[in-house]
Structure 1
Amino acid sequence: MGRTSTARDRLRDSACELLHTRGYAAIGVAEICARADVRKGSFYHFFESKQALTIEVIDTHWQAQRTAWRERLAGPEPAVDRLQRLITWLVETQREEWQATGRVDGCLLGNLAIELSNQEDAVQQRLTAAFDEQAAFVHATLAEGVQDGSIAPEYADQTTAKAVVAQIEGAVLLAKLAGDVKQLDNLWPHVRRLVAVTSPRLERSHQLPQIS
């Protein structure tokens, strides 16, 4: 039985890394192939274009992220605590990358959304779908928070859910721009204000651990 080729996976993984750290316009098919150790001719056996590869990168990346979002927003705890758990994980992901590389590379989806905001319609559609799904996860959690008393009813709507996603993406963008992951230390307190936590016990600071 022949050996299964890993070329497609290598192309996708290499593109993911380059897109995250360099951006869409700055890289070409030749560089992706060189990073993946795949011949350029073989690239077009798997993908008709860089755009098609980028769409697969987005889909694969969000599929993994979707699982992580679901896991952190699930559980028996009050909804506000589950939301905090999601924020803490998102911040820790950026910190771990910063500690490993000395850079704040930001959010792959957010980076691409900014760069391609007025071009590459097919890519924009995938990004929009991912962010809409994030907002839907947050919206569902806020609705659960109304039931457990940890979220004010007037803030458990789609507008607030989208504002939470925007707060996350904006904070990560500014940290990337400044090259300073410490700017994410206050992300949770800002998100908490958006959702208007109702319980005095839950209104405490909940500051994320500071970076020494």
Structure 2
Amino acid sequence: MGRVSDARERLLKATLELIWRESYGAVTVDAICERAGVKKGSFYYFFDSKSQLTAEALKHHWDSLRPLYDPIFSPSVPPLERFRRYFDFLYQRHADLKTKAGRVLGCPFFSVGCEVTKQDPLVGEAVRGIIKSKTKYFESALRDAQAEGLIHVADIPAQAQALFAYVDGVLGQARIQNDLELIRTLPEGVRRFLALEPAAV
């Protein structure tokens, strides 16, 4: 076993990698421990269950992404440019992940949430919290775009949720079809979604 001080971190990383590539149901505690290079006793020292570990792994992953999202969605960036930068980021990130994993992985929060939210309240709560946080970035960009007269939306929060659902749906299709190029359709899809002029996003 490696250093105890980093065992928790390795368990979190191994859990995310395995569940993202496979599924929550297909991954066992034994497989997680083997991937992390820790003994089962260390697993139960840090976590009560696979459910708790998964919830923590998802939140840990989201915490690692936020420093990447913040500059993309910075108020100093023009509102619609934020979406362009975000879609560029998504494509490059998933291209890199495909190189490592051998296929398109899609969004881990979406995949795990669809699989176990109803059966696992702990994981479901974690996923819903992450989705709420991610949607706030969209909401802020839409609100600023509205203030600049670039879009006309009656209900900003509802539109942000719908837009987020569209983006996650495309990522889900990219995983199902194993087609990275579907992610390239996001700018045009969102342009139509928001009734924008060509090349606005």
TM over 0.5: yes
Q: In structure 2, how many angstroms separate the alpha carbons of the residues matched to 1:155 and 1:27? A: 43
Deviations 1:156-211 (A, max 9, x none): 611110111111110011110011111222111111222233xx5xx3275xxxxx
Distance 2:183 2:83 in 1: 16
SS in 1 for 2:63: helix
Gaps of 5+ in 2: none
- Larger displacement relative to structure 2 (81-90 or 152-161): 152-161
Instruction: Please state how far the C-alpha of 1:19 moved relative to its aligned partner.
Output: 1.0
Who is 1:121 aligned against? 121
Q: Which amino acid aligns with 2:110?
A: G
Contact 1:160–1:194 (8 Å) recurs in 2: no
Q: Please tell me whether residue 14 in structure 1 is matched to residue 14 in structure 2.
A: yes
Alpha-carbon displacement from aligned partner over 1:73-99 (angstroms, at most 9, x marks no partner): 115332001122112211221112123
Q: What is the deviation of 1:100?
A: 3.3
TM superposition shift of 1:135? 1.5
Match of 1:88?
Answer: 88
Distance 2:109 2:22 in 1: 13
Whole-angstrom distance in 1 between the partners of 2:52 and 2:118: 17
Q: Which SS does the other structure have where 2:106 is aligned?
A: coil
Contact (CA 8 Å) 2:146, 2:153: kept in 1 or not? no
What fraction of aligned residue pairs are identical, expressed as a percent? 28
SS in 2 for 1:196: coil
Question: How many equivalent residue pairs?
Answer: 199
Q: Distance in 1 between matches of 2:64 and 2:48?
A: 24
Q: SS state of the match for residue 61, structure 1?
A: helix
Structure with more of its chain in helix, by fraction: 2
TM-score by length of 2: 0.91
SS in 2 for 1:131: helix
Give the Cα–Cα distance (whole angstroms) in 2 for the partners of residues 81 and 205 of structure 1: 8
Residue matched to 1:210:
none
Pair 122,4 (structure 1): closer, same or farther in 2 beyond 3 Å:
closer
Residue 172 in structure 1 maps to residue 171 in structure 2: yes
**If you compute each CA radius of gyration, which structure gives the higher value, 1 or 2?**
1
Residue equivalent to 2:199: 204
Structure 1 window deviating more from structure 2 (152-161 vs 25-34): it is 152-161
Are 1:37 and 2:40 matched, yes or no?
A: no
How far apart are residue 125 of structure 1 and its match? Answer: 1.1
Change (3 A) 1:100 1:205: farther
1:67 and 1:148 mapped to 2: Cα distance? 26
Are the counterparts in 2 of residues 88 and 188 from structure 1 also a CA contact under 8 Å?
no
Q: Is the 8 A contact 2:87 2:186 kept in 1?
A: yes
Q: What residue identity is the alignment partner of 1:99?
A: T
| Mapped pair 1:183 → 2:178 | no
Shift of 1:61: 0.8
Residue matched to 2:69: 69
Q: Which deviations, in whole Å up to 9, do the C-alpha atoms of 1:108-150 show, x marking residues without a partner?
A: 1011011113210111111111111221221111111122333
CA contact (8 A) 2:12 2:53 kept: yes
**1:15–1:32 CA contact under 8 A, matched in 2:** yes
TM-score (norm 1): 0.87
